[in-house]
Amino acid sequence: MLRRKKQDKQHASTPADMLVVGLGNPGSKYAGTRHNIGVEVVDLLAHRHGSGLRKSKELALVDEVRIGERRVVLAFPQTFMNESGQAVGLLCRRHNVEDPAQVLVVHDELDIEVGRLKLKLGGGLAGHNGLKSIRDHLHSDAFGRVRIGVGRPPGQSRGADYVLKAPSKAERAELDIVVVEAADAVESVLSQGYEATMTKVNANK
């Protein structure tokens, strides 16, 4: 009986307004790689508004923050990229996030040139395995995405190998700028909504 009450209390928490997920692979080996650029955005938001990401029971590093009047859960799944949906599903249940549009995923994008930023709500997954896993666990592709361009690999290089490497010094300088812009875009979605933010972000050259 006591255990049941404890569980009920845990799951009756105030719903989060948004779950912001930075995709990447855990471990120092992958820090600074193209595939972990989404993590950098979530980490920046955690330091802007909270105390930093920390371990949780939901297979992720998490920080619960206030951005304006919104309650926001920031997360970095610790399941490796291809299984990101496991952590996202657990976090949605833990924080009573029911609408896929309340999930905003920040990730690298091969089909966008280095340093460009795009925002979309729903739609195709562009072959991104992290997004596929999230779709499978949410049973929907209607979640938001902040897409950070890392560009295509030169020549015949495989995309999988390319994203697991660190960018060049010149690319890194561009990505440092776009990480800040991506964090700003997340804040804009929270304050102004998707449509207004997409108009602003997607129009930038």
| Catalytic residue from among 11, 35, 107, 139 | 35
Active site residue 139: no
Q: Is 161 helix (H, G, I), strand (E, B) or coil?
A: helix
The SS3 call for residue 79 is coil
Q: List residues bridging with 107 in a β-sheet.
A: 147
**Separation of alpha carbons 130 and 151, rounded Å:** 17
Give the helix/strand (H/E) hosting 87.
Answer: helix 84-94
The bridge status of strand 144-149 relative to strand 103-109 is: parallel
Give the dihedral of Cα atoms 191, 192, 194, 197; nearest 10 deg. Answer: -110
Query: Which amino acids are annotated catalytic?
Result: 35
